[in-house]
């Protein structure tokens, strides 16, 4: 029994050591139910200019006309506009997710490694005991003591094997934190301004954008601050004939570049949906950014020569032109949170953080 107690003690000590290890290189995804709106964005903020890559999920009923699918994005100044390939955007956001992974401690993953060490040690001990048998007289070991050592070694190995069998099926999802994008068409985009919310809403309704009375107050706020609106309408591929062509899928992103003193993510219009929204934002700037308690900071890390080619391609395109003169040394931040409608009545505005230190979220999973 002393041998078994020693093995158990060894197992506990190894578990304590493993508890301080970092588990990198794995991905842990969060599945978004189809009935929960989801949007993600990437903000490049540099020298009073913001380049915003914006993606969202469209949800439309089977009876909804395809030409009713539209996107209105308020911005503080007239933007340069481009579109990107949906598959390229998927890879781009996937790389951003990889660069901002949390530090994860897997309880069962760590225990599995410990149990494996315990089992290998038990097998090695049993082999050593078997090798002792021909030399019992020389080493002065009674047969009864030898049988006790062999029994204890076999029991310890059996316990390790049973623990491995029990814990092997347990674990956690390792899905990538990304929703597959599917290009279902292109956008027809117009930038509109107006002196009143009623006038802008009237234009939107005439052009197939369905808005209700609850949107008036939000539009009035933007109009009073002299903002303009990017109105993008999905142009479906031939043959779709009004089917639910984009339900539950990320469509090709809009890329907007505009002048602004502070990095900003337009969110107030989303509050009128009346449902919780999962917001995932990445920011890239020369200084670490902060938005207070609006979103939870998950990662802040220094990066060099961030790769935009996955998003815009290697050729000189309209989208690529929006990412010129990007500094080599930047700080990438990841923010994420599920927001209630009352938490989205104001846009998310970023300020320079109090420090410029790296940060990494830590998680414990079973």
E-state strands within the chain? 38-46, 49-56, 70-75, 80-83, 103-106, 185-192, 228-236, 254-259, 264-265, 277-285, 289-290, 296-304, 329-339, 348-349, 351-352, 359-360, 362-365
Answer yes or no: are the C-beta atoms of 89 and 311 closer than 8 Å.
Answer: yes
**58/287 Cα distance (integer angstroms):** 33
Q: What is the pLDDT of residue 269?
A: 77
**262/43 Cα distance (integer angstroms):** 11
Given pLDDT bands bounded at 50, 70 and 90, which one contains residue 67?
very low
Domain boundaries, the chain: 2-19+105-167, 38-104+175-361
329-339 residue pLDDT tens: 999 999 999 98
Q: What is the pLDDT of residue 119?
A: 79
Given pLDDT bands bounded at 50, 70 and 90, which one contains residue 168?
low
Q: What is the pLDDT of residue 103?
A: 80
Q: What is the pLDDT of residue 27?
A: 20
Identify the CA nearest to 242 among candidates 184, 164, 176, 159: 184
Looking at the chain, the whole-number percentage of residues with pLDDT higher than 90 is 20
Q: What is the pLDDT of residue 366?
A: 54
Answer yes or no: are the C-beta atoms of 24 and 119 closer than 8 Å.
Answer: no
Regarding predicted confidence, which is higher, 238 or 201?
A: 201
Given pLDDT bands bounded at 50, 70 and 90, which one contains residue 235?
low
Mind spelling out the 3-state secondary structure of 89-145?
HHHHHHHHHHHCCCEEEEHHHHHHHHHHHHHHHHHHHHHHHHHHHHHHHHHCCCHHH
- Range scoring the smallest mean pLDDT among 51-65, 74-88, 153-167: 51-65
Answer yes or no: are the C-beta atoms of 270 and 344 closer than 8 Å.
Answer: yes
Answer yes or no: are the C-beta atoms of 289 and 263 closer than 8 Å.
Answer: yes
Annotate 169-178 with b (16+ C-beta within 10 A) or e (fewer): eeeeeeeebb
Q: What is the pLDDT of residue 111?
A: 65
| Number of neighbours of residue 91 by Cβ within 10 angstroms | 16
E-state strands within 160-276? 185-192, 228-236, 254-259, 264-265
**Could you tell me whether strands 264-265 and 185-192 are parallel, antiparallel, or unpaired per DSSP bridges?**
unpaired
Mean of per-residue pLDDT scores for the chain:
74
Overall average pLDDT of the 19-40 stretch: 37
Identify the CA nearest to 108 among candidates 19, 34, 28: 19
242-273 residue pLDDT tens: 333 343 366 778 899 999 999 999 888 776 66
Answer yes or no: are the C-beta atoms of 74 and 266 closer than 8 Å.
Answer: yes
Q: What is the pLDDT of residue 267?
A: 85
Answer yes or no: are the C-beta atoms of 300 and 358 closer than 8 Å.
Answer: yes
- Range scoring the smallest mean pLDDT among 12-16, 146-150, 281-285: 12-16
Query: If you count them, how many residues does the chain have?
Result: 366
Overall average pLDDT of the 198-225 stretch: 81
289-347 residue pLDDT tens: 999 999 999 999 999 878 888 888 776 678 888 888 888 899 999 999 998 888 888 99
Query: In what side-by-side order are the strands of the sheet with 38-46?
Result: 80-83, 254-259, 49-56, 38-46, 277-285, 329-339, 296-304, 359-360
**181 CB-contact burial (10 Å; exposed 0-12 / middle 13-18 / buried 19+):** buried
89-143 residue pLDDT tens: 888 888 999 899 888 766 555 666 777 787 788 888 888 888 888 887 777 788 8
**104/170 Cα distance (integer angstroms):** 16
Q: What is the pLDDT of residue 247?
A: 32
Q: What is the pLDDT of residue 105?
A: 66
The CATH number given to 38-104+175-361 is: 2.60.250
Going from the C-alpha of 105 to that of each of 96, 108, 111, the distances in angstroms are 21, 9, 11
């Amino acid at each position: 029994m002393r041998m078994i107690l020693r093995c158990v003690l060894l197992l506990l000590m190894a578990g304590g050591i493993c508890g301080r290890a970092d588990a990198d290189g794995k991905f842990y995804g969060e599945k978004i139910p189809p009935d929960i709106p989801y949007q993600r964005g990437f903000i490049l903020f540099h020298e009073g200019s913001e380049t915003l890559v914006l993606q969202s999920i469209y949800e439309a009923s089977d009876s909804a006309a395809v030409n009713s699918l539209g996107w209105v994005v308020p911005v503080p100044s007239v933007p340069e506009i481009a579109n990107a390939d949906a598959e390229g955007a998927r890879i781009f956001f996937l790389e951003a997710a990889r660069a901002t992974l949390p530090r994860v401690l897997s309880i069962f993953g760590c225990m599995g490694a410990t149990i494996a060490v315990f089992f290998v040690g038990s097998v090695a001990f049993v082999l050593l005991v078997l090798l002792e048998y021909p030399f019992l007289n020389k080493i002065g070991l009674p047969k009864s003591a030898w049988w006790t050592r062999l029994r204890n070694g076999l029991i310890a190995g059996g316990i390790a094997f049973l623990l491995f069998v029990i814990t092997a099926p347990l674990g956690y999802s390792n899905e990538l934190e990304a929703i597959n994008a599917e290009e279902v068409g292109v956008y027809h985009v117009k930038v509109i301004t107006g002196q009143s919310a009623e006038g802008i809403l009237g234009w939107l309704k005439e052009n197939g954008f369905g808005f209700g009375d609850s949107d008036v107050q939000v539009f009035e706020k933007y109009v009073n601050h002299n903002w303009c609106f990017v109105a993008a309408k999905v142009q479906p591929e031939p043959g779709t004939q009004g089917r639910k062509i984009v339900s539950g899928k990320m469509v090709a992103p809009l890329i907007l570049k505009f002048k602004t003193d502070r990095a900003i993510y337009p969110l107030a219009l989303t509050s009128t949906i009346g449902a919780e929204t999962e917001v995932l934002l990445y920011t890239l700037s020369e200084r670490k950014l902060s938005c207070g308690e609006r979103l939870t900071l998950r990662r802040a890390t220094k990066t060099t020569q961030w790769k935009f080619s996955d998003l815009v391609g290697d050729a000189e395109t309209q989208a690529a032109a929006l990412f010129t003169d990007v500094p080599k040394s930047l700080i990438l931040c990841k923010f994420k949170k599920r927001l209630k409608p009352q938490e989205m009545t104001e846009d998310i505005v970023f300020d320079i953080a109090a420090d410029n230190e790296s940060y990494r979220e830590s998680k414990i999973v079973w």
